[in-house]
Structure formats: C-alpha cells, structure tokens
Structure 1
Amino acid sequence: MLHAALKCALFVLLTVSMLRYGIVPTKAAHRFSDPAVHFLHGFLETGWWLLAAATIMAVVRTYYVVGYRLRQNRFTLDVIAALLYLGAVVAIVTDVFDIPLKGVLATSGALAIVLGLALQSTLSDLFSGLLINATSPYRVGDSVTLDEVADGEVVEVTWRATHIAKANRDMVVVPNSVIAKSRIVNHSFPLGPHATVAKFETPTQLRPSDVVHALELALQTCVGISKDPKASVATISAGRKKNTYEVTFFRTGDRSEVEVLNKFYDAAHRHLESFAAQLEDGNEFADIPGGTLAYRLTEAIGVFGTLSKDQRIQLAKSLVRREYAPGQVLLNAGVCSQSISIVGYGVVAASAMEDSGGHSDIVRLGPREYFGESGPIAGVASMVTFVARTYVIVYELPDHAVVSLLKQHTDVAHAFAAKLEARQRKGQAMMHMSPEVHTAENGLMQWLHRCIEAIHHELA
C-alpha cells in the first residue's frame, strides 16, 4: 500500500512539473534546435507514460491485496499489467516519437505472422490461460482432478501453465492448452462437504444383491462415514468376468478421504470374504461347526499365525456360534469376558459413555475382527460396551480353550499380550481418556504378562 502511495505521489509530482514547463505528455514533443532539449522532452514524456502504467498497476494490485485476493488473481494482474504497458508503448510510439500507428501496424504485420507460427504452442497456452481465467473453473488453493493428467491442489496459474501440487508434494506443471481440452473436476467448489466415490469390482460368481448388501454393511462398519446424507450403492456394469459397483458417501469429522477409503475397502473385503466363505463347498472342514467360515475366522486372528493348520482346526472346533439382534449388547463395559468373540457376520460397535449420558461409537468391527480377549488372557474387564448394530453372528472361543492354547504356546501368549497392550492404548486415546489401568513400575506390557502367568498358574 505504501509502495502504491509513493508511485501516485511521484506521478502527480512529475505531471505537475511537466505541465508547468509546457510539456504535454499526450502531444508529440516539439522539435527544438537544441538536440539536448529535444531529447530531454522526449525522455520525460516516455517516462511519464511508463510511470502512468506502473502507477495504475500499483493501485490495482493494492485493491487485490486489501481484499486478500492477490494469490488467487495473479494471472489477472499479469494480464492487466501487460495491457497497460502495451498501451504505454503504443502511446510513446504515436505521441512521443510521432510515428503513425498505421505504419507501425503494417510493418509489424509480417513480423506478427512469423512470430505466430514460431510461437504457436506458447500462444495456444496463453489464450487458453485467458479463457481459464475468464471462466474460472478453479482458483489457486482449489483441489482439482484433470482427467488422468494431474490430481492435487492448484498452487499457481501463469501465462503458460497451471502448477498443481500432488498429495505426495510433487509439483505437476500442466500447459493451459492441455487443461482447456481436459475434463476438470473441482473438489473445492461448491462450498460444503463433497461426496467420496469408491469403485468396487467383484467376480460374477457373487450375486449383485449379495455384493450390494456386503457393501452396505461395510459402510456401516466405518465410523467416518456419515448417515445423513445417506450413502448409496449402485451396480454400474455387469460383464462376463466381473461386475462393477459404485459407492457414494460423505465423510464425517476431520477424517481424511484416504483414511476413510482405506477403512471402507478393508471392511468391504472382509464382508465379501464372509459371504464367499459361507458359500464355499468346504469339504475339508465339514466336521467343524460353522464349516469353512469358522476355520477362516481362526485364521483372522494374526497371533495364531505360528500354529499349524491342524491346531487351528482344533481351535475352530471349539468355537461356539452366537446370534444377536440389532441393538443387543454382546459385552458390557466393566465386565470381564469369558471368551474371545470373532465377528462372522454383521457389524459390532464398541461404544463408550459420553459426558452427556449418551453413547458414541469409538470403532466398529466387521467379519474377521475380534474383541473380548482381555478377559481370558489377562483377567481385565472391558473398557467399552460392545453392541450389535445389525444382525450379527459371532463365534466365541471359550476361555478354557484359550488357556489350554497359551499353556502350550508361550509365544502366542506374548503376542496376545503385545496386541492387547496396543489395543488398550489405542482405545484410551480414541476415548480421550487418561489410562485407568493401574500398572506396575515396569509398565503395562509387564503387568499384562504377570496377569497372564498368574491366571494360568491358578488354573494349572
């Protein structure tokens, strides 16, 4: 702002001084017998026109600075500056040097044709930039997708190209002529939340109705997906080898799109896997209550990875199938579970009490996820309440089967203790609570190990 004021003051001072000595900038300089005087008049008139263009430009730039729009309208300012200085040059040629404009245009016509052919690509980018600036499909700071050319945040729009910063902070410079031919998706306009669209493909062996139902369950499994507006699942194509589905949903809170998409795809995979396991022939696991699905659920607990296939089959035979209606409580907070519960179908929510007296879901569990391990392993009560959000099928691994397993495999006991510690810490962090578990001086991990050893010693 001070810079513009100084230019205005200098321009006014120069104008008043020139008029006082009879020098009119808009008229051709008189020819004086003294070459030095003639040169001085021409020099002052040329400087006046250039200073006039610079002053007007400074005032315009100040207008955008005051409105905090300088970064978004940099290209517009460049265009205005070019037009102002071009006008000043034309005025200097016609008024100061007294050269007819027709002659200048006739002389520059051939040169313009040569330059036009030589700079065809650059001129295409220039005029495309003018078109982009006039229509404003995006602005600096917007998140855009340009077909398969680029995807990220607009950092700068210049005469020749648009600079886009990708999510990994790589800078992509896209010529304006390419953008003018591309399909532009602006994720920042209009204002307000924007839906996330996820594509999903499945083999034709899975019925579309089953897949749609599984995807709907996956949407309910993700805490970061809004219930209003309601998410939608659509079958967009059915082919000979695969079917394609499109899922549209809105995010809640400050969760990133990548985080929610990752959770959704993982939940969708687990729900579809649950459907497939129920349809699988599974002659190999015919003697297991629950068949193939029960065995697949034992595989879902990662700490069982050190067990042999026969040992996992024996665990699967110990599973007890339970069914719960929507809203039914599976495990109350403060209660010590007598089994490890593995979700086989549906959605289970880990719910915590809020200050207002209501309950909020911290996390939701789908097929191949488990809960309640703190009871059989360490004798620790559950920190949250587990509630069925849909019709749920749960396979419970009784505590006696867990104790027998941990006696034979100390490595599994240590792995369970580490997993339990991580889940306890994560749960406390998500509830924004300070840890309420009284630990020994050596820390939570050692305390859990001692609990495990004490329980197994008593039961031995």
Structure 2
Amino acid sequence: MSETSSVTEAVIFFLFLASITLLFVRTAIAVAKGRRHRLRLAMELVALFAIIYFLNSPALRFLGMENLAADFQKGVLFLWTVSLAFLANTALERFVWDGVLSIHGERRIPKLITDGIGLIIYSVAVMFVLHYVYGEPIGPVLATSGAAAIVIGFGAQSTIREVFSGVALNTTKALRIGDYVEIDDVYGQVHDINWRSVSVHNPHTDSLYIFPNSAVAETKILNFSEPQDVFRYYITFSAELSAPPEKVIRVIADELKHSKYVYRTPAPNFNILGYSERGIDYRVRYHFEGDDPWWDAQNEMCMAIWGAARKHGLRIAMNRMLQGSPNSEWEFIDEKNFATAAPDAVLDLLKSHPVFGKLSDEGLKILCDGYETVDLSPPSCFYQKGELADGAFLLLEGRVDILDDEGLHDLEVQNVEPGEFFGLETVFGEQKRLLAARADEYSVAVRFNDETITNILRESENVKKLLSESEASFDNDRRQRRKDELFQIRIAAHHRERHSSLNSIRSGIDEMVNKPALHHLLDHFSKRVRNEELLEGLAATAAHLAVSRGTPDEVERDYFREALRHADLLKHVELTHGLDLFDSYCSQLVDQTDREKSGLVLKELREAKRVKGGEAVVRHFAKGLFGVRGLPDEREQSAFAQIEAVLSETRN
C-alpha cells in the first residue's frame, strides 16, 4: 500500500512541476513578444538563474535565513533547468524549424511535430529535476512515458526518417522550389518541398509526382536549373556509312545557323560516338532557354537533321525493310513535290497573283517553262542575307519567314504564305540578298530564273510598276515590323537581365551575407531583426523605384515580395518586417520633394553598404526590380542612377 502511495505521489509531483514549467514557458513567451527576441530572453534566464543559484547561500546567510537555503536552491535549480530546456527548444525553432527546414523563410514542419518535440524536451527537463533535485523515483513516470514513446515511435518512425532526410536536402541545397529537375527518371519543376516529401510538376503531362524525402535523398538528382538557367540536352542519331562524317556534322550545323529555339551561342556540340550495326552513331548536344521551349528546341533539332539529310542526299540509318520502304525515301518525296509543283498548278497560282496575274498568256507560259522546285524543312533557309541573288521564289506549300538581323538576333519582318512571291531583289537590280528567307513550316517553292523574270517584266512596264509599288508597300511593312521586333527583343533582354540579377543573389546569398560564427550568433540575441540594415536598404531601394513608376499599389508590394522570394533572401530577412518598411518608405517618398526622397534613400543605402555583401545584394536587387512593368522611362532610369551612384561611392 505504501509503495502504491509513493508511486502516486511521484506522478502527482511530476504533474505539479510540469504545470509550473508550462506556466513559466508561457510567461516567458508572452514577455518575449515575438520569436526574434525569445532566444535572447532564454539565454538571459539561463544566466540569471545560474547567478542566483551560486549567490543563494551567501545572500540568505546575510539575511539570517539559512534554514531556507536548501529549499530555495532546489527551486532555483528547477527554474534553471526549465530555462535550459526553453533555450534548447527556442534554438531548435530558430535554427531548424524556421531555419534549414523552412522554405523561403516560411515554416513547413507541422505544428504537431514541433510541439511534440518541444514536449519531449520539457518532459526530460522535469524528470531530471524530479530525480536529481528532489530525489524522487522516476521509474513509474519513465515506465508510463516509455510505453507511450514506444507506441508513438513505431508509428512515427517513417515520419522521423522523412524529417531528417528533409534536413539533409535543405542543407545540401540540391534543389529548390522552381528548379527544373529529373528525379528517378521523372522530369519536372519542383512544386513544393515540405517536412516529408518533394512534389514535382511535369509541365509536359501536367502531372504532379510526390517523392518521399528519404527516396529523394537516396536517388540521383539531375538539376537543369543549376548552375545556370540555360538548359542543355542531347539527341542521338545514326547515318549510313555512305555519308561522310565531316559533311554530316557540317551540313547540320549550317541548318542551325538561323535556328529559333536552339542556341547558336554556345553552338551545338557534335560527337561521333563510333560505329554500330546501323552505321555511324552521332550525338548532338545543344542549349536552349529554360523549360518552355524544350520540345520546340528538340523538334527543331530533329527537323534540322532531317532537312540537312534531305537537302544533301544523305541517308539516316534505319531498318527500311521494317518500314516497308527499301528504296530511298527521298524519291517518294520528289514524286509528291513533282505533283505539287506541276506546271498547271504553278500557272493557276500565277494567274491568281495580284501582279503577275496581269502578264500576258505568253509571259505566263514562259515563266512556267523554266523553274526549279525546292523543298525545305525548318530551320533551313532558301537563301541567307548577303548571298548572291539567284532568282525569285513562288511559295506553293508551307510558310516562309523573311528575316532581317540585329546582332545575333533574327527579326521576322514578313511572313510569306502560299501563292506569294519572295526574293525579288534581282528584279530591281540588287546583286545580293538584302534579307534571309527561312522555312517556318515544311515548305515547297518554285524558283524562277533572274533573267527570265527580268526579260518578261521588260516587255510589260505596267506589271513592273505594279510590282515596284507592291514591294515598296512590303518594305514599309517590314520596317515597321523590324521596329516592333527590336522593341520586343529589348523587353525580353531587359527581363532576362532582371532575372539574372536576382539569380546572382540566389546563387551566392549565403556567401554574400556570411558572418563569423560569433557575430552571427550575437545577431540572434539583438533586439534588431536579422540583417536589419540590409533589409532597410532593400526596402528603400524597392520603394524608390516603385514611387518613380507612379503611386505604389498592391502590385508593387507583390513585386517586392516576389523579388525577395526569387532571390532566396527570405532565409536571411523577415518578410513581414520588410513589407512594413516598404510601405513606410513609400508613404514618406510620395509626400517628399525629389531632394528629400534621394536623401532618405541614400541614407539607408549607405547603411546597407556597411553590411558584409550589402553592396552586391542591393545592386543586384535594384537591377531585379528595375523596369518590372516594362522598359523603364526617364524617371525610373533617374531613380536607378541615384541608387547606382551611391553604391559606387568609395568608402572613406
């Protein structure tokens, strides 16, 4: 009976201490007023109760209360132990739950797990006090809690494994939300990373794949978004032994000189893999921009290989008997094109043409007596800019783009449809091609001899005049299209530069704001938020650019928020505080003169420059927000120039 009574008393005393612990922790959290001050408070409590513990006996002896020293010392030791548990749990929240396991600064671990681990920490602390401070048996408590722990442990062992795998994934930074990856032969964009799984969205099938963290941690990950956003892939094919290897590589490379999706710089890389039972095997590695044009780039590469083989009479190695076509496939295509380009079909198109249709029957007959049929597949060109002119073309099938150039960019200045002419430069005395003509679809055209067209037009001045007026109209349209294309290229280049600047922060943010371990630790005990000088500089920069674009609105807040997230800055600064600063600076800047605006912003930028890596982070961040609504106007350019001037100032 006495043994049962002792066990009951131990459990009751444990619950009593646990209740006091809960009251103490709740009070400490309320006093801290925010997670960023809780760690500092925990350290202060541990140090305070340690001092009280050592000064307990002398102080009570001085007051003549030695008889209370033992009990008072036990109470202080109890509070010190609870404070130590409070410190451990707070550090776990700060550095793990809100640190390595957070995504963009947002906690992703379920509250059930974080509170459960916190409960275990405090329970261990209370049992320590119960046994080592008050000398009470903890066997009954351990037996009860041990049984519960076994049951919970077996049920949660997979969850615990996923959590630790999540820690490994986040610390190694093998993948981040938004990256394009291939995991276990599944391709897609990382949609979400949480405490137990990684979800990958395949944009090509619109499917969502869920991988447990443990499976991801143990498998091979191919990250297409690192170290840069330019994707590289490859395609393999075989050519028959009759196709000279050097010629195969050269003619395919020529086909890609005006590619739309495959990058020309860096140029595709060709590798001869060796010989096989089919012939000679080749691999072409090529680059393209991001995921969106993935299939477009692969389609273009396949069409370039086919087009080069077709144009130069090369044969791609395959089992033709299995396909039921033992002879050359090009003969079949030639037969089809002969029917498409039959004289009667060409004559009908010429008669329906608004200019050439006005020729006499004899003139039309002369044209139809001498032409050559040409068929091309994208991205092949009927002719390139600067080549010697060798005739005019009439498109019978497909679609052709007329191209001008600006540096490395092709500008589509005209689209030719079936029944239309292109390449009429020689009619007006030009010796070289002024523009290029690229097949946008598989296209069949007929080419008329220069001399034939010139002679016919010489006999019909009226038709030549109409043709001249038609070409003048096309020239005006091409000039306008050229301006429009250049404008779109400038916008695209501008936004690429913006994203590149934010990616520069993302790839090196840890190194940019890295501090000595002691300095970093002391930051967590400061009353200021993390990297506050840097955050104030970023918010001032964003506000200055936003106000230069007009009255700031919710969209501007979204730009600021998204820029912080894209640059992976939310691990190092607090979003809510940053948005408050942004709103505050915007309110001040709206009501100030230009001189006052620059003074406020420049002050914060100078403070941010003092932070390690602050200058580089703010500069890239400003570039990332510069012109978010399109090409920047004069006011926004002036605001950006002010920011750049301050960042470029030499430190005194």
Q: Which TM class, normalised by the smaller chain length?
A: 0.5 to 0.7
Q: Which amino acid aligns with 2:394?
A: I
> 1:4: which partner in 2?
35
Q: CA RMSD in A?
A: 6.4
2:340–2:396: 8 Å Cα contact kept in structure 1?
yes
- Find 2:128's aligned residue among 94, 102, 112: 94
> Residues 29-428 of structure 1: matches in 2 within 5 Å?
52=87, 55-56=90-91, 60=95, 71=104, 74=107, 86-95=120-129, 121-158=158-195, 160-167=196-203, 170-189=207-226, 191-192=227-228, 194-202=230-238, 207=243, 209=245, 211-236=248-273, 239-240=276-277, 245-251=282-288, 256-276=293-313, 280=328, 295=338, 318-320=370-372, 328-329=386-387, 338-340=392-394, 350-352=403-405, 354=406, 360-362=409-411, 373=421, 385-387=434-436, 396-397=447-448
- Pick closer, same or farther for the CA change 1:243–1:181 going to 2, 3 Å: farther
1:214–1:271: 8 Å Cα contact kept in structure 2?
yes
Identity %: 19
Displacement of 1:10:
7.8
Q: Deviations over 1:12-55 (max 9, x none)?
A: 99989999999x9xxxxxxxxxxxxxxx9999899867754564
Q: Distance in 1 between matches of 2:208 and 2:180?
A: 14
* Partner-residue secondary structure (3-state), 1:250: strand
TM-score normalised per structure 1: 0.53
* Partner-residue secondary structure (3-state), 2:34: helix
Q: Which amino acid aligns with 1:156?
A: I
* Partner-residue secondary structure (3-state), 2:176: coil
Displacement of 1:85:
5.3
- Pick closer, same or farther for the CA change 1:316–1:203 going to 2, 3 Å: farther
* Partner-residue secondary structure (3-state), 1:188: coil
Q: Deviations over 1:89-147 (max 9, x none)?
A: 31123225767788877877777666665555445434433433443322334322113
* Partner-residue secondary structure (3-state), 1:329: coil
Q: Distance in 1 between matches of 2:261 and 2:88?
A: 54
Q: 5+ residue gaps in structure 1?
A: 25-39, 286-290, 308-313, 404-419, 434-460
Q: Distance in 2 between matches of 1:197 and 1:88?
A: 53
Q: Distance in 1 between matches of 2:143 and 2:234?
A: 59
Q: Distance in 1 between matches of 2:388 and 2:402?
A: 10
Q: Which amino acid aligns with 2:34?
A: H
2:201–2:208: 8 Å Cα contact kept in structure 1?
yes
Q: Distance in 1 between matches of 2:92 and 2:481?
A: 57
* Partner-residue secondary structure (3-state), 1:93: helix
> 1:430: which partner in 2?
485
* Partner-residue secondary structure (3-state), 1:185: strand
Q: Distance in 1 between matches of 2:395 and 2:387?
A: 13
Q: Distance in 2 between matches of 1:63 and 1:115?
A: 24
- Pick closer, same or farther for the CA change 1:50–1:375 going to 2, 3 Å: same
Displacement of 1:184:
0.6
- Pick closer, same or farther for the CA change 1:260–1:80 going to 2, 3 Å: same
Q: Distance in 1 between matches of 2:286 and 2:213?
A: 32
Q: Distance in 1 between matches of 2:157 and 2:290?
A: 49
Displacement of 1:178:
1.9
- Pick closer, same or farther for the CA change 1:324–1:179 going to 2, 3 Å: closer
- Pick closer, same or farther for the CA change 1:195–1:162 going to 2, 3 Å: closer
Q: Distance in 2 between matches of 1:325 and 1:16?
A: 82
Q: Distance in 1 between matches of 2:156 and 2:232?
A: 42
Q: Which amino acid aligns with 1:95?
A: V
2:180–2:190: 8 Å Cα contact kept in structure 1?
yes
1:350–1:385: 8 Å Cα contact kept in structure 2?
no
Q: Distance in 2 between matches of 1:105 and 1:206?
A: 82
1:72–1:140: 8 Å Cα contact kept in structure 2?
no
Q: Which amino acid aligns with 1:396?
A: R
Q: Distance in 2 between matches of 1:164 and 1:426?
A: 40
2:256–2:264: 8 Å Cα contact kept in structure 1?
no
Displacement of 1:375:
7.3
1:237–1:244: 8 Å Cα contact kept in structure 2?
yes
2:190–2:200: 8 Å Cα contact kept in structure 1?
yes
Q: Distance in 1 between matches of 2:330 and 2:303?
A: 24
Displacement of 1:186:
1.6
1:201–1:245: 8 Å Cα contact kept in structure 2?
yes
> 1:448: which partner in 2?
none
Q: Which amino acid aligns with 2:127?
A: V
- Pick closer, same or farther for the CA change 1:114–1:56 going to 2, 3 Å: closer
- Pick closer, same or farther for the CA change 1:295–1:204 going to 2, 3 Å: same
Q: Comparing both structures, which one devotes a greater share of its residues to helix?
A: 2
- Pick closer, same or farther for the CA change 1:163–1:107 going to 2, 3 Å: same
- Pick closer, same or farther for the CA change 1:57–1:270 going to 2, 3 Å: same
Q: Distance in 2 between matches of 1:296 and 1:426?
A: 35
> 1:457: which partner in 2?
none
Displacement of 1:175:
0.9
Displacement of 1:359:
8.2
TM-score normalised per structure 2: 0.40
1:218–1:271: 8 Å Cα contact kept in structure 2?
yes
Q: Distance in 2 between matches of 1:74 and 1:296?
A: 68
Q: Distance in 2 between matches of 1:364 and 1:213?
A: 28
Count of aligned pairs between the two proteins: 362
Q: Distance in 2 between matches of 1:263 and 1:283?
A: 24
